[in-house]
Amino acid sequence: MDEWRALADGATDYLDKLEIRERERLGLDTLKVGYNAVHGYYIQISRGQSHLAPIHYVRRQTLKNAERYIIPELKEYEDKVLTSKGKALALEKQLYDELFDLLLPHLADLQTSASALAELDVLVNPAERAETLNYCCPTFSDKPHSHQRRPPSGGRAGTERAVYR
């Protein structure tokens, strides 16, 4: 999968190197290499220099001020990139399905653990925030108390202890 992703993600580097190589080889300063979703990868040469395009450059598209070409090397690379994206997605889906199948028998245990962690987070968070932000530390009680306390968003409290139910 890494190889397929690297091929797709490294397309820009490949195109830049191809552009530099072809510019130097042909001496065409207007030559550009790019990608279009409709026509794919192409080599673009301005209309004024298009007569200098080598014979193995196959015209793919004509624009107002430029001609776009394809060469076998670029077409081969395009095919590799396009198939690599599909292969990577297919492998990702397969791995996700396999992971899901492995976890499914343990779903009840995972849900119980997730619930316990959520409860622990709710219980620990006020104390952690009070300690970190230098608030008065909370205490927990089963007795109903109603104190006028400022919430953490309202500013730091004094030395009084907040009671949470």
**pLDDT given at position 127:** 78
Hey, is 139 helix, strand or coil? strand
* Residue 161 or residue 46, greater confidence: 46
Burial tier of 42 (Cβ tally within 10 Å: 0-12, 13-18, 19+): buried
Q: Residues 77, 83, 84, 86: is their CA dihedral positive or negative?
A: positive
**pLDDT given at position 128:** 85
Q: Measured over all CA atoms, what is the biggest interatomic distance in the chain, rounded to whole angstroms?
A: 91
**Looking at the predicted structure, is the pLDDT value of residue 6 above 60?**
yes
Positions of CATH 1.10.1420.10 in the chain: 7-100
- pLDDT 10s digits, 125-154: 887 888 888 877 656 677 776 665 555 555
**Looking at the predicted structure, is the pLDDT value of residue 155 above 70?**
no
CATH topology of domain 7-100: MutS, DNA mismatch repair protein; Chain A, domain 3 (1.10.1420)
**pLDDT given at position 145:** 67
- pLDDT 10s digits, 51-109: 999 999 999 999 999 999 999 999 998 888 888 888 888 989 999 999 999 999 999 99
